[in-house]
Amino acid sequence: MGNVFCLFCGCIGQSNVGVVEKWGRFEKLAQPGLNFFNPFAGEFIAGVLSTRINSLDVKIETKTKDNVFVQMICSIQYRVIKENADDAFYELQNPEEQIQAYVFDVVRAQVPRMTLDELFEQKGDVAKSVMEELEKVMGEYGYNIEHILMVDIIPDPSVRTAMNEINAAQRMQLASVYKGEAEKILLVKRAEAEAESKYLGGVGVARQRQAITDGLRENILNFSHKVEGTSAKEVMDLIMITQYFDTIKDLGNSSKNTTVFLPHGPGHVRDISDQIRNGLMEAESGRVNGV
């Protein structure tokens, strides 16, 4: 609802307050609604003030403790105190300029004491300091400070680029550490797996040889008991010859084109059996001497 005036009356809109003067001197405040005046007694409406909340954005350029120039955008929400509307009407001609001046003064006194990182972390403290100062000063002029927000902090573009590069370098360093730890774990696990594989391979070879030895011993004993007049040496020679011909047969049946040169003849089998027998006898002799 707007404000409507005539010679003898006036209608003050909602969220507004009128200032009534009599012969050029403040007389009273006109509340929202219909108000009557006596022009013959010198009464008239000198002006109307809105009691709604106003918002003012202030851009401040200042320097931090570590010599970084920043721009700060401060949003101030204020309103006229209805009961003190006459002070707001007569004391201040331009309240926005007055608010800006005090914001500049407080911010430029607080920010140079902080580094850039501290400013980002403590911007709420800066807003609190500005609000305390404005409430104390503007309250005398009939204004109430509702809220103050530090909307944005904008460093110099070169500083922002440097900060991003530092952040990126730190993240790359951290990534390198994690990558190195992962490679270290992989190498350790691979070495452990290789050691375990070699150990199990050794166990398998040992068991295989033990099984071969046990099988040969059993064959020799069975053959000696079933065929009278045979010695263990003769049985061993027979087994070696049999295995020799089985090996030749396997080589001949192989599908791969591989040429193997072996000394061929039963005599060579006897030489191999002699070597095995000598080895077993030396091992047995060493065991007895060790005891």
pLDDT tens readout for residues 40-91? 888 888 888 888 999 999 998 888 888 888 889 999 999 998 888 888 888 8
* CA-closest candidate to residue 16, choices 42, 59, 52: 52
169 φ, ψ (degrees, to nearest 5):
-65, -40
pTM above 0.85, yes or no: no
Q: Which range among 1-10, 56-65, 192-201 shows the weakest confidence by mean pLDDT? A: 1-10
CA-CA distance, 161 to 134, in Å (whole number)? 35
Quick: pLDDT tens for 116-164. Answer: 888 888 888 888 888 888 888 888 888 999 988 888 888 877 777 777 7
Q: Which domains does the chain have, with CATH numbers?
A: 5-50 (no CATH), 54-155 (3.30.479.30)
**Residue 55: half-sphere exposure toward Cβ, Cα within 13 Å:** 6
Cα dihedral sign, 16-17-22-25 = negative
For residue 13, give the DSSP letter.
P
% residues pLDDT > 70 (the chain): 73
Quick: pLDDT tens for 22-40. Answer: 888 888 888 888 888 878 8
Q: Which range among 52-61, 106-115, 156-165, 185-194 shows the weakest confidence by mean pLDDT? A: 156-165
Residues in the chain: 291
* Torsion of Cα atoms, 13 then 14 then 15 then 17, to 10°: 50
CA-CA distance, 260 to 248, in Å (whole number)? 10
Mean pLDDT of 201-221: 75
* CA-closest candidate to residue 74, choices 147, 138, 133: 147
